Structure 1
Amino acid sequence: MNCEEPIVAYLGPKSSWTSQAAEKCFPDVVEAVQSGKVDRGVIPFENSSNGTVITTLDTLSTSHLECSDLTIAGETTLKISHCLLVRSIEHGQITPPDSPAGAGTPADHTDQGSRSLDGSAFAELKRIKHVYSHPQALGQCREFLAANLPWAELHQTSSTAEAAIIASKDHTNSSAAVGSVLAARQIGLRVLLEGVQDVRENSTRFLVLKRDPADAPPWHSSRTHPEGEQRKLLVSFAIDQRAQGKLAHALSTFNKPSIQLTNIHSRPSRKSPFHYVYFVEIQWRAEKDGGQQLQDALRDLGKISQSRRCHGTWGPTLEW
């Protein structure tokens, strides 16, 4: 399955998934959940080989006021497999363009994440001058593309679905897309190579968003969870960066026995140059002391920071 940004999914009133790969972007997902048009929105958060999905952090960091009721209800992880897609023979006669000067032949790429190339694939690759895909997908196939298509120009698109559409409309047959088998079937492309991601066990974590205005804040003592359950919490905050040691002081609030800080990210706040919003993902144990320690940490963070937002807490079981 290939689910990269901005591929989104909704769980609607009838509990059915609807894929909106090309039509929707992250702010649309957030708005749809916040307005009640859909029950749940799913957006990618982190890839195992290419890191955090920056668009998700930017969406979360700029949607505080408009989407104050939005919380993270859970997460799920999917294995991501990328394919190199080209126009199928049904699109017309293939006429290879002139080979670029100085271009070598494709490498016999045998890394664990990619297939070896046979003779027919060599001929196909020589024809490709342009490769389209989302930045996350291109990043996850960086080594393969560098080894086997060093002459090709890489183009970033808003989604892998958009990349497939662009490749299908190139009548020179010199374009390819990094995308999924599903995209190939839906748009009418041919899968030239499967598994072109650099890492075989390539996975992406997705966050499930919901609108939950009636719920207490995730650190509130009235919330109950199974005793001893390991839960996660995503918090964002901003600080006065002119004050020495402010960031270290803010992070130190999570230095408690039942709390483990697992992830830190920063994104421009867009309020002033080189001013940031910091995202912290933590694990905490749902027990009496653990809940109190989390409540104390977030209270202390609120005293130190200029602004603070808890984006939600979730457990190991995905609950819709």
Structure 2
Amino acid sequence: MVFSKNEKVGVFGPRGTYTEAAALTVFDETHFKFYRTIEAVVNSVAKNICEFGVVPIENSLQGSVTSTLDSLVNENIKVVGEILLPIAHVLATDLSERITTIISHPQALSQCKSYINKNYPMAEVLAAASTTEAALKVAGGIYENAAAITSKRAAIKYQLKILDENIQDAENNVTRFVIVGKELKKPTGNDKTSIVYGIINRPGVLFETLRPFAERNIDLTKIESRPSKKKFGDYIFFLDFGGHIEDKKFSDALEELKELTSFLYILGSYPRAQ
């Protein structure tokens, strides 16, 4: 992916997050603008405060980041790229040897659940807005005898003592981040497309919406449902597939799909992460 070095980039922060590490693989940190929530990052792009934004969307252990999915539906923006980043958590403290409280982002806490239960079964577990915010709270002495599950980068930045490394429950812990912007990317020959659509519920309708892809031998890499938030039992569906909507095979599939849905929104066609 090629982006200008002078573009303002909204990043789920504060400094030291895994999102910042992902963004650094593509953008120059000189123009980073940090936001406390994923919604705020996406909104900064929608309101033209930033040209691009970087947010987590999926983890190999814990699945989708639902706040990102919801934000993509609610704002008129596009996914223009993706980044895959291996995640290695550390347990860090402000030199306290007796840990009675562990703080982190809910996804990180889930990714380290077995470690916590085995090593700190009596500890109080508290949620933070991000793994780096957890580090900041521990460094600031807000809680006594507290430790943060955070990145090694954040622990070093905020001068915390690292008690243990690689504490996630599975070694193959990877988070997928998306770059959001305003315009669709042109085909590269190795692309992915993300869409979201709604259906009018009736027997067999979900199967019918997948048929256009199966008949054209299109590789579906993900399908997930989320509540529409309009009424109980009403769902929308997120779908990823290999290919770009400018290619006829894929555009034909989407034209056929459109006839079966209550709405269809192209979230983006973008280069597939290597």
Structure (1 or 2) with the larger CA radius of gyration: 1
Match of 2:138 among 167, 181, 184: 167
Runs of 5+ unmatched residues, structure 1: 89-93, 95-123
Corresponding position of 2:84: 77
Flag the 1:197–1:211 CA change in 2: closer, same or farther, 3 A. same
CA contact (8 A) 2:226 2:237 kept: yes
Task: Give the one of 211, 227, 231 matched to 1:272.
Answer: 231
Q: Measure how far apart 1:178 and its partner are.
A: 0.4
The 1:75–1:39 alpha-carbon spacing in structure 2 relative to 1, beyond 3 Å, is same
In structure 2, distance between residues paired with 1:244 and 1:296? 24
**Post-superposition shift, 1:201?**
3.1
Structure 2 equivalent of residue 59 of structure 1: 71
- The question of whether the paired residues in 2 share the 8 Å contact of 1:184 and 1:191 is answered with yes
**2:216–2:253 Cα contact (<8 Å) kept:** no
In the other structure, the counterpart of 2:270 is 314
Contact persistence 2:191–2:244 (CA under 8 A): yes
Q: Which residue of 2 aligns with 1:240?
A: 200
Q: Secondary structure at the match of 1:178?
A: strand
- Percent identity over the alignment is 30
1:57-81, Cα deviation, whole Å (9 max, x unpaired): 1212333xxx2xx211111111111
- CA drift of 1:183 comes to 1.9
User: Which runs of 5 or more residues in structure 2 are unaligned?
Assistant: 1-14
Q: For the Cα contact (< 8 Å) 2:193–2:244, is it kept in 1?
A: no
Contact 1:7 1:25 in 2 (8 A): no
| Count, aligned residues | 260
Q: Contact 1:2–1:81 (CA<8 Å) still a contact in 2?
A: no
Which deviations, in whole Å up to 9, do the C-alpha atoms of 1:4-43 show, x marking residues without a partner? 57999599997745262xx431121112112222221111
One-letter identity of the residue aligned with 2:236: V
Which whole-Å CA distance do the structure 1 matches of 2:241 and 2:139 have between them?
43
Contact 1:83 1:178 in 2 (8 A): yes
Partner amino acid, structure 2, of 1:232: K
The answer to whether residue 190 in structure 2 is matched with residue 230 in structure 1 is yes
2:250 counterpart (282, 294, 307): 294
One-letter amino acid of the counterpart of residue 272, structure 2: P
Query: Structure 1 141/51 Cα, relative in aligned 2: closer, same or farther at 3 Å?
Result: same
**172-181 vs 259-268, which moves further:** 172-181
User: Runs of at least 4 residues of structure 1 off by over 6 A?
Assistant: 5-8, 10-15
User: Does the CA-based 8 Å contact 1:134-1:159 persist in structure 2?
Assistant: yes
Q: After superposition, where does 1:82-93 map in structure 2 within 5 Å?
A: 82-88=89-95
Q: Distance in 2 between matches of 1:166 and 1:38?
A: 28
How far 1:2 sits from its partner (Å)? Answer: 7.1
Contact 2:16 2:132 in 1 (8 A): no
Report the TM-score, using the length of structure 2 for normalisation.
0.83
Partner of 1:250 in structure 2?
A: 209
Structure 1 length normalisation: TM-score? Answer: 0.72
Give the structure 2 partner of residue 143 of structure 1. 114
